[in-house]
Each structure stands twice: as structure tokens, then as C-alpha cells.
Structure 1
Amino acid sequence: MKLVLLALSCALALSSVQGHFWSPWYDRDNPSGLGDYENLHAQKKRGYVCGGCKPIAAQCRVKGTTNVFTRWSGTAPNKLVIHCSPTKGLVCVNSQQGGGSCKDYEIRYLCPTTSGSWTSFLDRDDPSGTGDWESTRAFRRFTKNNLCGGRRTMCAQCRAKRSRYPYYKTGDRYNTFHDCNWENGLVCTTSVNKKICKDYEVRFKCPTIGNSNCSRCAKWTSWRDRDNPSGSGDFEYVGKRGHNPCSGREPIDIQCRVKATKQRWYTAGQKIRAKCTPSGGLVCVNRDQPNGQLCKDYEIRFLCP
């Protein structure tokens, strides 16, 4: 009996991490064509991944093996175009391999159980014009609905208003990065869909932000400044040699500001290469600035699940 309980507890530990849970292993493609395309965008065409929420980690492996690699650790046996990203997936292209062919990979995602609240289903547009624009940007700009208090949303669920079919069962095609995206919402235009789109409604989940007393709340890190612009620029990027703000988990949100003045990064009047994103951080390069100016010294903080 003790052995059974031990085995059960081990299985539960493997299927969840700090309360978050792993998706099944996905293998939607094989390398017999151009390569192995285990990208998240394509997987979402078959149904929700993480219930419409932003994955906060990913594990990848060659199918039939147990050697796992991630964005942060381990190595793949092939050169990858997308390297086991929680928000993009994995892509291996045959023509880039010395041996001429990719391995067959599978990927799984860590899904957040972070506390939050869902909005009602919202419908700000109809497809009578250029299409149906149910994006977070459109809600904030045209309906003055400041979703999640202006912070990034962490989940999205989308359905056809009349039939209530989920977005992946309607047969419509969606604009890039707006395929019921947890952060951007849904956009279906006639030019992309090649026909009139359905009328959609979308709801979003806003994270609950708390402190150490709330175990399932999202939490802000302290302000961080790993670089200064005295060299080639200010490189506040996320990566193995940069920031790893949430212990290998994908941040829900990010804030960036000028360290000295506390002004928001986009009001500083500088050309920024990595534009303050949770996956990429912020990068400002001195040679991109006009008239020999240097980048300002920036600091950033992350909202961790």
C-alpha cells in the first residue's frame, strides 16, 4: 500500500509544478516534409492549449526518448529555429541540418493556475466592414474598456456569437498573433479569411496581483537593472545570459522605465529594439540613437505567475 501511495505522489509531482499543471505531450507534425513544426500557433488550430491561458514553461524531447530540454536548460540534437519556447513552441527545418533531417519532436506546456477573474464575453465589432476586430487594443482604444487595468491579459477564450462554437471549430482563419491570443485577442479579416468572418465574442482573464501571503496570486519582482549603456547599449533582455525573472517560468507581464527619472520607456524618445515584452525584455543599442546619443539606463520588473 505504501508503494502504491508513493507511486501516486510521484506521478502527481511530475504532472504539476508549484500548483501549475502540465499539458499532454503534443506531436502534431513529423519531419518527413520541410521539417518538424511543433509551433504553438498551429497546435491552437486544433483546440485550446492551457484552456486559452498563456503557457508559462515548455519541455521538449525527441519522441520516444526521455531526455528533456527547455528554453533554459539542456540541448537539442538539431539546430532549431524556435527553441522550445512557452509562447511559440518548437520548429526544426530539415534544410538547416547537417544530416539533412530533423528528429521527430514532441512538446508539452506548463499551464498556469494563477488566480484571476474573467470578464464577461465581449463583442465590440461585427464583420460587416473589413472583418471582426475583437482585439485588446481595439477594446482599449475604441470602447474605452481598459481591460485588466491596462495590464496584459493572461487568458482569452473566443467563440462565434450565434452558434457558440469555439474559435477552432468555425472554419475561419485569423490574423497573425490574433488567433484567440491570450494577450492580443481575436481578429478575423476578410482579406485573411477569404470570406466574410463569423461574428465573435471574447472574454479575458485578468491576473490577481498579491504578495507572499497569497500563494496563487501573481507577484511583481523588484526593479532590476543588469546593464548600463556605457558599452554598446543597455541590454535588459530575458535569456540564459540575461534576466531569468521567474525561475524559468514565463512572466505574465513586464514594466520598463528609465532608472533615473522613472518615466515609462516609450516616453523616453529613444529607438528600442526589444520593446519591453515579457519574453524578450528591453534592449536599447547606442548606435541606433541619433546624433551620437547614448541609450538611457533602464530598469525593468516582471509579473510572475
Structure 2
Amino acid sequence: MLRLLFVAIVAVLVAESIQTLADPTEKPDTTGEAELEVREYAAATEEPDTTEEAELEGRKYSAATEEPDTTEEADARKKRAAATEEPDTTEEAELDIRRKRDAATEKPDTTEEADARRKRAAATEKQDTTKEAGLEQLKPEGLKPDIGILPIFPCYQPNIKCWTKWFDRDDPSGTGDWETLPSLRKENPGKICPNPADIEVVTLSGQSVSQAGEKIFKMDTTLGFICLKKDQPDKKCMDYKVRFSCSQPFCDDGVCWTKWFDRDDPSGTGDWELLKDLKKKHQICDTPLYIEAMTTGFLTPAGSTGQKFYVYNPTEGLVCRNKDQKWGKCRDYKVRFGCKC
């Protein structure tokens, strides 16, 4: 009986299920619709995957806030510094150090320098045999050239002697008549030569010492002249004047100067201002007493240039050779001669 009842219930349930499926008016199954709505709602409301969002937001935040790589920062700082700060003096300091070190430690190779100078001189200098020969003809045998001697102005011929003017600095009113060289030089600077060859003494009336007959305490070229009253029988000295034998330019004679001559320049072996050559074109006395020379540019006296002269005297003229100079070159000189008027 129970078995029949269970079968009947099952049959009813199956029938209802068949009827539900077959009934066109029955509402559709809302299971799928609910599932679809759930999905749409979830798509509209659910938050995105926090893992990816966190990763993306982290990247954006890092890009906006994180400090740049130190290498790039250093490069940027260098560029900014190069644009604004003063130039780097490292190279300049290094160069300065090298120069100081070289100047302090490096010594020039004097041998190579000397050889180089000789080669340059040999390449540029032409031997003027005519000038050399002419000079040798002027030189007496055994006479050495004037090389290495700097001229003193005005230059004169030492073997020509003359007398200075007369000097009378004292009178015999005191202890006697004192015409001493130290006092005369002090009162007459440049008028008496350093080493007079002779002395001459006369009275103001023109009597010589021997004619005056007085006893003379001193009369020489070192001290000068002294007459003492105490040495005289009448205790009186006559009034004397003195003069000295010197070379030019201490003579009392008048001297006339020629014009300036510049016949040569130092482009060859040197500057050759020889008297014999100058006399061919100009009127110059046969025996000049003086010679004076200076540069043509700045008018520097020859004695102030520091150069050496192969010849420098009034009877031959001036010769400056390039090879005798420290820097291998003479300056350009002009000369003039002093003759007796």
C-alpha cells in the first residue's frame, strides 16, 4: 500500500514538472537572469583588482615622487655648474705648476744653444773680405784690435798730448800758494785728466820757477804745486799758475765736430764706419782728435749699449762685428769726428 502511495507521489511530481516546461505562460527561470544581473551589477560596482591597481598606482607615485638616479643627478649638476660657475682652473693650475717646475729644475743646454747660435751666424753672416783686408792694412804690425773694450766718450787719440788751460786757485796771502791737484779737480770737474803726463808752473807775470828763484815745496803730476812762505828768505811766495799735459779732450785748443755719418748697417758681418771709407765721400781732417758714436734709432751712446767694438778710435773709425756680440747682432751706429779748428 505504501509502495503504491510513493509511486503515485512521484508520478504527480513528474507530471507537474512536464507541465511547467510545456506551459508557455509560465515565467522563465529566473536563475539565469539573476545570475546575469549579478554579473552586470558586479561589473558596474565591483572595485578593480587591487593587485594590479596597487602596482599601477605604485609606479605612478614612484615616477612622481621618487628621486632620480644619482648618476643622472650628478650629470645634471655638472651641466648646471658648467653653465653658471666660473670655469674650471684645473688645467690652468696644472700648466702653471709645470712651468714653475720646468723653470726651477730645467737648465738650458748651453752646448746646443751655443751650437745653434753659431749655425745661425754661419748661415746669415757673409764674410766681407774687402772690409777685413782694408782693416788689416790700417793696423800696424803687432797692434791688437780694440775688441772687448767699451768706448769712453768722447774717444780720443792717446798719443797726442796737449796742455790744459792755466789754473790759479790760490794766492800767497796765507801760508803760501797752494795749487794742488785735488783742489783743482774739485773746483774744475772734468778739466784735468786722471794721469797728467807733465806739469808746468809760471808766475802771473810769466816767469818760470827757475827764473823766480824761490824754493818750491812740491811740484809734480800727483799732488800739484805748493810754495810755502816759511821756506823763503823773505817769508813771501810769488803768485803762481799751473797747467798739465794731457790727452784730448782735456786740451785747451778749440775742437770742431763733423756732421754725423752712417755709411753702413749691420746686415752683413757688422757695422763698418771706417774713416778711410768715409773720407772718400766726405771732408774730414786727416788726423781727427776725437770720435763719437751713437745708435741711429734711439740715439743711445755706443758706450751705453754694452756691445763690444773691434775698432773704436779717431784715426780709424768704428767697427762692430756681429760675431763678437752676445746676441750675434750689432746695432746700427753713426759716427762723427772732432778735428782741431
**TM-score (structure 1 length as normaliser):** 0.35
Q: Which one has a bigger Cα radius of gyration?
A: 2
Structure richer in helix, relative to its length: 2
**TM-score (structure 2 length as normaliser):** 0.32
Structure richer in strand, relative to its length: 1
